[in-house]
Amino acid sequence: MNETPAFLDTGRPNVPDLVVPRGVIPFFMPGRPVRGRLLRLGPLADALLTRHDNDPAVTRLAGKALALTAALATALKFKGTFSIQAKGDGPVDLLLADCTDQGTLRGYARADAEKLAALGDAEVLTDAELLGHGYLAFTVDQGPETERHQGIVSIEGPSMTDMALHYFGTSEQLQCALHLACAKTPAGWRAGALILERIAFGGEANLALTEVEQDESWRAATLLAATVTEAELLDDTLPAERLLYRLFHTEGVAADRPRALAYGCRCSRAKLTGILEGFTPAELDEMSVEHDIVMTCEFCNVDFRFPRGDLRGQPDPAARPS
């Protein structure tokens, strides 16, 4: 038994201690207005997605959200957490994925089994049908001392890719090409992403091309990116540099320093104790079952058990003398 008091116990629960050293390969096209990232979660996808026993259609949706989140987070300069959250009225009423500046990743999809069954064969449902009508939020949270930066758009388009491109087009005015994939392979669940971003005319690359030439170069890059297949994005045995060369060698492509991704649930007994201590004793008593309170982390699906006698709670304002 762990003798450390719960409020001091910051250790991770029994979850995978997994790092993918080359999870993200940034790349650029020398002399052209294009940069991008190739992202492959590898075994990390299986470790994250199998924490919950979801329908395969829901798992695929969650995998694409994880890949998209990591692909976007690793392009930002920030300290904290970048998250994507979707809320809708469909069978998956909550979809959440977040990635820290260190590349630690986690995700969660909450699905209503009855709603899912009512729609028939889940395998043929689009991402939009799974989520229903609602919104998509992109958030950068750099801690309590800073203001959160958030963009929110309605869910538009049949796929997670379309939804993200809708956000880029309406909120960021950023030209992007995006390809997402998630599937169960013989090696387990895998997820990946390929994202291209157009560098502004006269921007950081100091390009020696006219604006018309840059337009054509961007168009060529996006057409080549569109030839990538789901199998290529998810194939652990296909080196990233080989795939990038296969896709873009006619335009020229150079890989940058890879970035690692890791299993990133940040739950602990200490954090949950802090939450529980915010309730009144009467509320804690209502939560207690056979003298224990059990809290489950939605991300890693680990149960934490707290003896009711170890928690004092906050004084009940109604019980204070006037």
Q: Name the nearest CA neighbour of 312 among 286, 279, 275.
A: 279
- CA atoms of 105 and 97, how far apart (whole Å): 7
C-alpha 152: how far from its chain's center? 16
Give the DSSP H/E element, type plus range, for residue 255. Answer: strand 254-255
Distance CA 226, CA 196 (A): 11
Whole-model pTM above 0.75? yes
Exposed/middle/buried for 163, CB within 10 Å: 0-12, 13-18, 19+?
buried
Whether pLDDT at 322 is above 60 = no
CB 217 within 8 A of CB 28: no
**Residues forming a β-bridge with 159:** none
Residue 270: count other Cβ atoms within 10 Å of its Cβ.
Answer: 15
pLDDT of residue 204: 52
Q: Which of 228, 243, 130 is nearest to 178 (CA)?
A: 228
Task: State yes or no: pLDDT of 281 exceeds 50.
Answer: yes
Mean pLDDT in the chain? 88
**For residues 153, 297, 143 and 154, what is the CA-based torsion angle, rounded to 10 degrees?**
0
Which phi and psi (to 5°) does residue 159 adopt?
A: -120, 165
Tally the C-alpha atoms within 13 A of residue 309's C-alpha that lie toward its C-beta: 2
The alpha carbon of residue 280 and the mean position of all alpha carbons in its chain are separated, in whole angstroms, by 34
Under the banding of pLDDT at 50, 70 and 90, the label for residue 1 is: very low
Instruction: Tell me the mean pLDDT in the region 220-234.
Output: 97
- Indicate if the pLDDT at residue 174 is higher than 90: no
Report which of residues 72 and 286 the model is more confident about.
72
Q: What is the fold, at CATH topology level, of the domain defined by 19-263? A: Hsp33 domain (3.55.30)
pLDDT at 225 over 70: yes
Q: What is the pLDDT of residues 16-68, one digit of tens each?
A: 789 999 999 999 999 899 999 999 999 999 999 999 999 999 999 999 999 99
Q: For a pLDDT cut of 90, what percent of the chain falls above it?
A: 61
- pLDDT for position 318: 60
Q: Where in the chain is the domain with CATH 3.90.1280.10?
A: 267-319
Contacts of 186 (CB under 8 A, 6+ apart): none
Burial of 18 (0-12, 13-18, 19+ CB in 10 A): middle
Is there a contact between 311 and 284 (Cβ–Cβ < 8 Å)?
yes
| Pairing status of strand 176-185 against strand 92-100 | unpaired
Q: How far is Cα 69 from Cα 45, in angstroms, rounded to an integer?
A: 13
The most confident of 138-142, 182-186, 207-211, by mean pLDDT: 182-186
Q: Which CATH number is 267-319's, of 3.40.630.10, 3.40.50.2300, 3.90.1280.10, 3.30.499.10?
A: 3.90.1280.10
Average pLDDT over residues 211-238: 95
262-271: average pLDDT: 81
More confident residue, 49 or 307: 49
Segment 188-199, tens digit of pLDDT = 999 999 999 998
pLDDT band at 284 (very low <50, low <70, confident <90, very high): confident
pLDDT number for residue 244: 98
pLDDT attached to residue 60: 97
Q: What is the pLDDT of residue 205?
A: 52
Give mean pLDDT, residues 151-173. 89
Residue 312 above 50 pLDDT?
A: yes
pLDDT at position 12: 61
Q: Tokens 């957490």, residue?
A: 81
Residue 136: exposed, middle, or buried by beta-carbon count in 10 A (0-12, 13-18, 19+)? buried
Scanning 78-199, the segments in alpha helix (DSSP H) are 113-118, 127-131, 160-167
- The CATH 3.55.30.10 portion of the chain extends over 19-263
